[in-house]
Structure 1
Amino acid sequence: MGTPYGVQSVWRQLVDLIGRRRVPPATRAMATLRAIRADVPPPVRAGSARALEYADPPAALVRLFAQDDIPIAIPVLRSARLTSSEWIQLLPDLSPTARSVLRNRRDLGPDVRRALESFGPVDLVLPDSATNAANAATEVVDRSAAPIAEPRSRAHNPNMDQSDRISAAASAATPARPVAPPPFGEDSGPFEIAEVVARIDAFWRHREEAGPVVPPAPPRAVEFRFETDEKGVIRWVDRVSRAPVIGLSLDLIGEGDSSQVDGVAAGAFRRRAGFSTARMVIEGSADAAGDWLISAVPVFDPANGRFTGYRGTARRPRTDERAEPARVPMGSPAESLRQLVHELRTPTNAIAGFAEMIETQMLGPVSDVYRARAHVIRTEARELIGAIDDLDLAARIDSDALALSPDRVALRPLLAAIADDLAPLLELRGSMIGLPVEDLAVVGDRRAVERLLSRLMATLVSASGPGERIGVKVALESDQRVAVSIDRPKALADYPGDSVLGIDDEREDSTLLGTGFALRLSRNLARELGGGLLIGPASLTLRLPAAVTSQMGQAI
């Protein structure tokens, strides 16, 4: 940090690590950022703010950027996702301009909106001419002993309408120095602002006598249409109130009590793909409030093929449909495991990265002995990362948090690529893989199908012995199912049926998490894909949905 470049590097690295929640916003780290902020050029700070736009930074980092110059703060204020209590604690420390940015957001909870409205007398500053008129009216009313103290105190009432609040703020804006009222002509009549103050006083007296008027609840909308721009922000709606919906983003998953969409819509937006029955929750009391199921298709410019947004519809969920996103209670075993996986993945990736730097001599010459040890460390770290990913996958399946996007996946190229990846392991075990001749296709999430087949094949190859051949066959069982049959190694022949799922503690098991764990994970993932895993005496049969129809044959 002794040079300007070093200060900028520290700023970028700390903002990136804290903003993406790779490290917690510790007191020392935040103090360092506050201390060096003045030494970091505004373009660098603005670039860091833009990089955090969809990174879900913690409240401490949001506060740091929100108190910066408004051009730097806007990207963070526009997209930060905090709880209602965190927003309410931050609001008093923001400038009126920063709070005005938050007023334009449609995804904040009702508590935050009420807190923003309470800043009306502070943020809604009158121009100089209106202020002078208000001051003059105040002095005129004071001279006539008009009862304006009560309206002044109610200028801070959160239940006032916006127009009433502005009028009350005008009457309460008493300056530090008196301003003489303008001279009255003979035919000038009463002062207009004084009439407004008198009307406010009459309004409150009538309200106290008759009680507040509760407006009737708006009729509940049952469906609407919408269109978004190329950034996924809803810009047009029909058949529903515009205010609660306009400005919501398909690419921003909400948290807490804010309006939100689930990961189905967000994932489809990043791939520019269509989606169906994604979940949306709109907060508030308007006709659009409540749970929705939304479906949309992408729209492309016919002239140049550029993505221009989405067109879709929304409907209320039926009684047999669950519209709210599945939430796993904090402290559950699956949630705890996912947190543990997150804590393990970061240092393991760092170990693998430093070992690779040593092996490739990026920091300078290294002896062959140390390079060989670094190669071993990198290999072991890669295997550990694979085991961590398996634990994460198991936790996601257990907590119903696995997001899948159906796609057509050809099996023959995928199996060939997996066999190439397993070539070092096959050479070590002295075995081989027999690939199928047929090339059929299945329907499922591409990454999940690849993970399922690669994990299953790696487990069986790890149990194979010298000279063994693990044959793979692919067959179309029906119009709806494709069967992938894989030979069982001889080492697993002593475990009939499902007993092979419980051999995690065997001494001869060479896999990191155990053969039983890998097979159970494969079976559960196959079920998530709409198929299953059958363990037979001589082979394991994986069944997945087929990408065929009885009329057309194999899909293209």
Structure 2
Amino acid sequence: MRFDDTLDTVLAADLSSAFEQQSVYRQLVDLIGRGRVPAEDRAIETLAALIPQVPLAVRSASARGLAFARPPAALVALMARDELSVAAPVLRTAMLDDGEWTALLPALAPSGRAILRHRRDLSSSVLRALESFGPSDYVLEDGREVAAVPAVADQPLAPVADAIAPEPDPVSQDQVTPRSDPVVAGPFSSFGAVALTIPIVADAVRDAETRGDTPIESTAAPEGPFEIADVVARIDAFRERRERSAPAASPRLPDAAAVDRFRFETDAKGVIGWADGIGRAPLLGRSLMLAGQVGAASIDASAAGAFRQRARFRDARLTIDGEGLAAGGWLISGVPVFDPASGRFTGYRGTARRPRAGETAAPPKHERNARPDAFRQLVHELRTPTNAIVGFSEMIEMQILGPVADPYRDRAQAIRRHARDLLGAIDDLDLAARIETDALTLRPEPVSLRAVIGSVVDDLLPLCELRGATIAIPSRDAAVQGDRHAIERLLGRLVATLLSATRAGEVVAMELTAGDDGEIELAVARPLALAIDPVMAVDEIEDDSTLDAAPLGTGFAIRLVGNLARELGGSLAIDEQQLLLKLPAATPVSAQRASKL
């Protein structure tokens, strides 16, 4: 007999922190949407309660992750009532039967039903149900009060001035009397009544009646259906008068996007002395011989190399800092110029243009913003099967489903150990993505560093015995201000990375001191095998034991520790003797010293 308690485990999670709320929301949407757990009422109620607490970006990413996953009707109904960025991905791909669609339609917003109208796989009964919402979905809502529309088509249309209830006009206030007739509700409106709600139509009508203009064909009220030609003529006349009375527009200067080319010339020393087609201030005095950063401009080294050989160059990169027409990146090309009489080199003449799409290494802005979110979604997809691997390996190792031979139990233990290492790497990737997208939630509080270090060392004792190294815990304690979970993660990853670089008999000594700038400094002795710049160095793996500490490499771990330290308001520095970690003190250092005195 098998019992699946996945849903109970997720619902029993602690929801006191924002991180846990987002995690539970993502897990419930994934499990229910992919049919791994039933859509029970308690699960749907939990999701509904978490919606106000979970950011819209997280909810939208979870909805996009359900593409073609066939979520149940209860989950579709819940997410369809959310914001449009959450409802749209689900409504575009959800597969429900006719009865479920018909029951869901009244609860949808007009925008949600509009999405369903663009689907071509819905049955005729669902399409007929959608058509019944047409009168309410197609209403143009702009906050205006429109007068009643005659229910019978052959009745004359009310005067135009009576059909509009605008703000009182000082000129026409004594000429136009608002109607007091009650508004008659009706499912349909004539085209003329809808046209009267358009601002340009209302302005034209008010202008015509203020000036006392008569209708185009006769001064009497029109008989029969509404004539749209009358309104069109009034609109044209109103536009013509407004254009004649409008003041002449001042000439507009070209913006930065319009200036995409310029020309330049240099002297025999490569100094730019003339430029045309752009602001010359950032360019004059810049030399092609000085590659790299030169004041407010940065010139590619390829131009300097061509200048030394008096050769032509093409598409060298020029970057101009600041604001204005010249700011930004350019691709410059030039040809050497020689005196026809003497053959003496006189300088360069060239042109510059803006880079086209695809000529720069940087991805488009929307891709840069979307890439971390997509990466976090991938990390979430990796975490789910890895957790399943850990669970199944534990079942085999503990013989829950029946007796298992010892060799298979040993294999299951190895699978569980490596899967947990993989989970640690996945957590590191998720943490790095959250730091990059500014999605890391921190709750500062006073934290005892010595207590956290002691807990981290206890967890890493097996690795210490495997490496034959020793960790010397600081003799004194100090309190820092930061998120306890983040500090534990920082110190755990830092100590594990240092242990992976130790050798037999080596001691990793730690010492806590109070800095002069309101920070607590943790100095850690640098193992001899750790590079001075581990971020740029190539990892050298001597044995498989290092995989337990730094599965993604020493450089990634140190970079992650440094980024996390900056998020906490501190820093990480490495020199030949030690690693110096600085974190904000829980109380100012001056106050600590005063209390000791």
Greater relative contact order: 1 or 2 (C-alpha under 8 angstroms, separation 6 or more)? 1
